[in-house]
A and B are shown apart, each in its own frame.
Chain A
């Protein structure tokens, strides 16, 4: 029987292969403190890894045998709005039932609230499998990671009231954007008013483009400080659907991810409670929320790429033209190998990022109970920085790759791929949003830019270069090193121009340089560890990356402040 986990050994490799994993589990399990109080808690590292693997196999089973077979019907039916409420496509309920029965909710939450207490790295593996089965359903399922933010910034009372509900399978949403506040969330107008009489907050206004907007528990960004106009007047609130006051006015008609309802919400005196401190809504909490969500979209993108690869390969092996399977033609196998290379490289970056996030979040969690040692503080700082540098890289690159891969997957299918019978057309439509929501690729480059100019990536590359590779890969490593040198040279060129607009114009190119260099190094590392899985795609990826690096390097080197004029639009 198909299983999205055991059928794709690359996921298991990414879960287990890193030496950081030991530290991640140690932090997450806090000295295996739960082992006597919870019957499903691990006793040691090996036990924890074994449990992750087993649960991922369950997820692999559900995704392959329930969610994926349902995906075509969900895509065709979609959700609809009825009396202010969302009705999912009928098979979405089946999917929800399956993930709830399997207990794949509150995956990262502590056991005392009913969670599985899994690291984000393991959660990411479930996430990508669900996305490869149905990227729209992944939205609904993975919004559970909003609970991380409530866990981190809510008080103990709020934690104990809301987290167990999410662990039991209630869904979440993050209500951020409004008609005039998309990428620019500082413009949020939804009004939060405190009632001294009722001792609670009331929300009034409209939110737009809210994914899974009729969820059970909402995190809402609203203006709590009357008269303010920027991000400092915004706070974060928890709205509980059980209290009522929020209705769905309409569901958007979208190009893809049809299973995921994108809602316009009307708040009419909706009772809500403050989460965390006033005025910290955007500047702290939403940033935390978005970073989690961006990692989620990176996983969603990898899932789509995996399915784009599976569909392309299966079709190319099956389809015969000119007397043979089309997979034998160089023009076709090159496309498929490129998909695989981008998939493997993007996945390596995804899990590298997830590990960084796990370590810093693990330390932050320990910090809630005791003071960290100086060593731990330094470790926290290091991984926070790496996570903050790699998250925009993983999100932006994987989402762009998902689009390229879905495009190539249709191309492999030829005319049949353009017809609605094959899954590749759904992947193509579903992929399109990944490079837009939770911050467009253009905004990912903005987030990455400080790490480009201050040398976070350059230092990462230096550390990766110091790693051993298989002897037969030495010449490949030299090529990768030469790419890193070009990246560093490009940074210097941009810095020397000392012009902000020029830097902004070059930022996408520097971003691509950084990402291609980092992924090349990661692929060399992984192919050294598991050549049977990655040698081919590492070699293909280096070819792709080298060409990309040359392209972006040339752009930066040939552009100057005067030449910028050609790009400006009236």
Chain B
């Protein structure tokens, strides 16, 4: 049996390199000013997809991303590491989307890809930290969801069931779920394999239309006629049949009222002696307060 796998991936600002212009005045992220990277947990999700493909040869992995044209970098990265194809959803009206509009848009795009067995994504993106988009897509597509997944332990082709280990507070939980489903993968899952040298050389010139300079149009046309896999399909709102009222700012009920810097300050301090009694007392207090344990 071969599986049809969709991996949701997002290009995110590298939070290790946040500068003063990281946020716009409107309180959204200034993506143009920050170096962009593959959202780390989406890479964990991609690895789970690649492992399924290793196990079920003939399976296909489609990577789906939404963002600026340069988010095609995420698709290329996934192609280098073993994905079969990728799609970039990019369109001006899609901008400024909160998680609701994003999950609607991605769900529409997933429908266009169609015929999927398993949709994988990272637990959350490091720019918003909401962990909402995966679950919302599951709801919109009417699918089962398993969140905080660490490993897909087994997949039964005949019974169309998967067994997944989830990361939960204080331990792990093993669950069984039917296909098709949405799985969001936790950062504690296996790291993604490296780029493959051959795939890197094969796909290094893959682009979406919006990345190409108009004056190079002819060059690309010739290139793609010869090597069709160098064209990464680019979809706008119309291509995925999106309702204009449910996308972008229009479809986003979230409004940022203000952005504030929060500085954590110690409000009180206590001085303890090095005596066993004092140390034991502190340990007990921290345990009781569930601060450690």
Contact = CB atoms under 8 A, between A and B. Distances in A.
A102 B229 CA distance: 20
Interface in A90-118: 98, 101-104, 116
Interface in B16-44: none
14 contacts: A39-B202, A41-B201, A42-B201, A51-B204, A54-B200, A55-B197, A101-B193, A101-B196, A102-B193, A102-B195, A102-B196, A103-B197, A104-B197, A116-B197
A116 B199 CA distance: 11
A116 B197 CA distance: 8
B205 to A, nearest CB: 9
Contact of B201 (A40, A66, A98, A104): A40
- Counting contact residues on chain B (CB < 8 A from A), the size range is 10 to 19
B214 interface: no
Nearest to A1: B16
Given A98-B194, A101-B194, A58 B202 contact: no
Interface string B226-265: 0101000000000000000000000000000000000000
A173 B193 CA distance: 27
A41 B193 CA distance: 23
B270 interface: no
A61 interface: yes
B267 interface: no
Contacts of A98: 193-194
Contacts of A62: 194
B209 to A, nearest CB: 21
B194 A55 contact: no
B290 interface: no
Contact of A103 (B198, B204, B229): B198
B227 A39 contact: yes
Nearest to A118: B197
Nearest to B227: A39
A61 B227 CA distance: 28
A51 B201 contact: yes
B193 A55 contact: no
A58 B200 contact: yes
Contacts of A40: 197-199, 201-202
Interface in A36-62: 39-42, 50-51, 54-55, 58, 61-62
Interface of B: 193-202, 204, 227, 229
Contact of B195 (A42, A50, A58, A116): A58
Contacts of A101: 193-194, 196
A96 to B, nearest CB: 13
Nearest to B223: A43
A160 to B, nearest CB: 19
Contacts of B202: 39-40
Contacts of B204: 50-51, 54
A88 B146 CA distance: 37
Given A50-B204, A51-B204, A54-B204, A102 B227 contact: no
A41 B201 CA distance: 7
A58 B194 contact: yes
Given A55-B201, A102-B195, 17 more contacts: A39-B202, A39-B229, A40-B197, A40-B201, A40-B202, A50-B204, A54-B201, A54-B204, A55-B200, A58-B194, A58-B200, A61-B194, A101-B193, A101-B194, A102-B193, A102-B194, A103-B198
Contacts of B195: 58, 61, 102
7 nearest A-B pairs in the assembled complex, by CB-CB distance: A40-B201, A103-B197, A101-B193, A102-B194, A39-B202, A55-B197, A40-B202
B54 to A, nearest CB: 10
A116 B201 CA distance: 10
B196 to A, nearest CB: 5
B228 to A, nearest CB: 11
Contacts of B199: 40, 103
Contacts of A51: 200-201, 204
Specify which of A58, A66, A102, A104 lies most central, judged by the most chain B CB atoms within 10 Å of its CB.
A102
Interface string A163-199: 0000000000000000000000000000000000000
Main secondary structure of the interface of A (DSSP, over half): helix
Nearest to A61: B194
A58 B201 CA distance: 11
B227 A103 contact: no
Nearest to B80: A58
Nearest to A97: B193
Contacts of B194: 58, 61-62, 66, 98, 101-102
A36 to B, nearest CB: 8
Nearest to A99: B194
Contacts of B196: 101-103
Interface in A462-498: none
Contacts of A103: 196-199
A206 B135 CA distance: 63
Contacts of A55: 197, 200-201
Nearest to A66: B194
Nearest to A167: B198
A55 B195 CA distance: 9
Nearest to B81: A101
A535 B199 CA distance: 38
A104 B195 CA distance: 10
Nearest to B50: A101
Contacts of A66: 194
Contacts of A58: 194-195, 197, 200
Quick one: which of A50, A51, A101, A116 has the most chain B CB within 10 A? A101
A435 to B, nearest CB: 32
Contacts of A41: 201
Contacts of B201: 40-42, 51, 54-55
A50 B202 CA distance: 12
A47 to B, nearest CB: 9
A51 B198 CA distance: 9
B232 to A, nearest CB: 15
Contacts of B229: 39
A465 to B, nearest CB: 39
A289 to B, nearest CB: 25
A186 B193 CA distance: 45
A417 B182 CA distance: 52
Most buried by B among A41, A103, A104: A103
A50 B200 CA distance: 11
Contacts of A54: 200-201, 204
B13 to A, nearest CB: 15
B91 to A, nearest CB: 30
A514 B198 CA distance: 41
Nearest to B82: A101
A58 B198 CA distance: 11
Interface string A520-555: 000000000000000000000000000000000000
A66 B197 CA distance: 17
Q: From B195, B197, B204, B227, name the one whose CB has the most chain A CB atoms within 10 angstroms.
A: B197
A104 B193 CA distance: 13
Contacts of A104: 197
A66 B190 CA distance: 13
B278 to A, nearest CB: 32
Contacts of B200: 51, 54-55, 58
Contacts of A102: 193-197
Nearest to A48: B201
